[in-house]
Structure 1
Amino acid sequence: MSPDRRAAMAAGSLFLLTEVSAIAGAVLYRPLLGAAEGRLAQSADTQALLGVLCEVVLVAAVAGTGAALFPVLRRHGEGLALGYAFGRLLEAAVIALGTTAVLALVTLRRDTGTGADAQTAGAAGADVALEALHEWTFLLGPNIALGLNTVLLAYVAYRARLVPRFIAVLGLIGGPLICASAVAVMFGAYAQLSVAGSLAALPVFAWELGLAGWLIVKGFGSGSPAGPGPRGTR
């Protein structure tokens, strides 16, 4: 197996892992974050900790995609390759920050007791602050940072024909769309977890699944071994 084929297999597998771990983590710790007025849902601690473990896997997978793709992207522009690698590291760091907020919520709940009556005004305020921190990191990491990284990778993939262009176009559409959606959420147009937010995330979701599947099954296109130009053809 050539180095490029190994890189394609690794990157495709890591992209799939990001999708699975992100969805699993959000589902598992959502009961902890879904309580109204700062009151934590009952019996959510263990489930939330499992969700945190999923997000630790997510952080490693997000950073790993940048490392796996760097040798290939570097041939089409070292600046772009470094930008993508560091962009994925930034995205992973923001996700990790949000994960610590979930861990802090679990600790706060254990310290203040499980009943609603045990929630002091200060503890309830801390609950709200930690939940807000997680929501903002979710907005900045898996939305804005993800969107920018998607545009960067899709641009290189389109220009160098690393994957079929219809897959790259999904990224070129989905990246700006999820960034615009994040800005809309930031200014209160709609909630992050809403029909509009979910629809805005669909192209990026399709891009990552399509990219992952193509890299695992087919590998990089004929543009990958070429120099920085876009002249590779299928």
Structure 2
Amino acid sequence: MDDDRRRSLATGVLFLLTFATSIPGALLYGPVLGDPDFVARHAGSGSVLAGALLEIALIIANLGTALVLYPVLRRTTPSLALAYVVARLMESTLIAVGILSLLTVVTLQQDGVAGAGPVAAALVALHGWTFLLGPGFVVGLGNGLILGCALYRSGLVPRGWAVLGMVAGPLVSLSGVAVLLGAYSQVSPWSALLTLPEVVWELFLGIYLTVHGFRRTAARAGHAPLRARATS
């Protein structure tokens, strides 16, 4: 197994890991997000802590995709390769802020802080904004538009699928703007419909790169300019 195949395999597995961590993590946050009286109760924090652990794994997977792909993408699109790393870093930072906000709510509950309801509500609202700006906006720019453009230009995956990423990403970001402006809620049919193409794109990357890997001709062509410069 050569270096490019190892990188494609790692990237595919990391993309699949984002699905395995983000969806269960969001579900495990149910008690703190759906119960206004969560702080006043003395049960249910275990699932929130488990959700936080899954989201920490999600951050690791997100950053991993960028770091593993960077050496490959920079051969043909160095500026887009760097932009993708920055986008993933921004997304992961927002997720981390959301994790800390909910862990603080758990601390308020466990310590039995009197009158902490309004503070807890504010922290839950903060998590909502980080989710909107991270997975609901930055993901569209990074995983969709930037990564789609980079993979289209490099030819590392079938270009038809790369076009899907270039289209799906802006749809996610536009949906995030619509939610921000109050056009509809983040949990709505419109939001789900506009997010679905991005989900399909990322799932394709996870499966394709795990099973098939980078397209061989494109990967070899990406090495050629580097060798040419080294011998000149």
Q: TM over 0.5: same fold?
A: yes
Give the equivalent residue in structure 2 for 1:220: 214
Q: Which amino acid in the other structure matches residue 187 of structure 1? A: L
Kept in 2: contact 1:29–1:44 (CA 8 A): no
TM-score after normalising by structure 2 = 0.90
Q: Which amino acid in the other structure matches residue 9 of structure 1? A: L
1:157 pairs, out of 151, 162, 168, with 151
Which runs of no fewer than 5 residues in structure 2 stay unpaired?
225-232
1:200 pairs, out of 194, 202, 215, with 194
For residues 193-229 of structure 1, the C-alpha deviation after alignment (integer angstroms, 9 at most, x for no partner) is 2222111111111001101111111111122232499
Runs of 4+ in 1 over 3 A off after TM superposition: none
Equivalent position SS for 2:89: helix
2:137 pairs, out of 136, 144, 147, with 144
Which runs of no fewer than 5 residues in structure 1 stay unpaired?
114-118, 230-234
Distance (Å, rounded) in 2 between the aligned partners of 1:125 and 1:176:
35
Give the equivalent residue in structure 1 for 2:203: 209
Kept in 2: contact 1:75–1:226 (CA 8 A): no
Give the deviation of 1:80 after TM superposition: 1.3
Give the equivalent residue in structure 2 for 1:101: 101
Q: Which amino acid in the other structure matches residue 175 of structure 1? A: G
Distance (Å, rounded) in 1 between the aligned partners of 2:14 and 2:162:
18
Distance 1:212 1:110, change over 3 A: same
Give the deviation of 1:169 after TM superposition: 2.0
Give the deviation of 1:166 after TM superposition: 2.6
Report matched runs for 1:22-33 at 5 Å. Answer: 22-33=22-33
Distance (Å, rounded) in 2 between the aligned partners of 1:61 and 1:219:
18
Give the equivalent residue in structure 2 for 1:187: 181
Q: Which amino acid in the other structure matches residue 108 of structure 1? A: L
Give the deviation of 1:192 after TM superposition: 1.1
- State the superposition RMSD in angstroms: 1.7
Distance (Å, rounded) in 2 between the aligned partners of 1:146 and 1:197:
14
Equivalent position SS for 1:192: coil
Q: Which amino acid in the other structure matches residue 39 of structure 1? A: D
Give the equivalent residue in structure 1 for 2:161: 167
Distance (Å, rounded) in 1 between the aligned partners of 2:120 and 2:165:
36
Equivalenced residue count is 220
Kept in 1: contact 2:55–2:99 (CA 8 A): yes
The farther-off stretch of 54-63 and 38-47 is: 38-47
Distance (Å, rounded) in 2 between the aligned partners of 1:173 and 1:79:
20
The farther-off stretch of 189-198 and 70-79 is: 189-198
Give the deviation of 1:108 after TM superposition: 1.1
Give the equivalent residue in structure 2 for 1:80: 80
Give the equivalent residue in structure 1 for 2:38: 40
Give percent identity, aligned residues only.
45
Kept in 1: contact 2:81–2:150 (CA 8 A): no
Give the deviation of 1:156 after TM superposition: 1.3
Distance (Å, rounded) in 1 between the aligned partners of 2:13 and 2:111:
39
1:130 has 2:123 as partner: yes
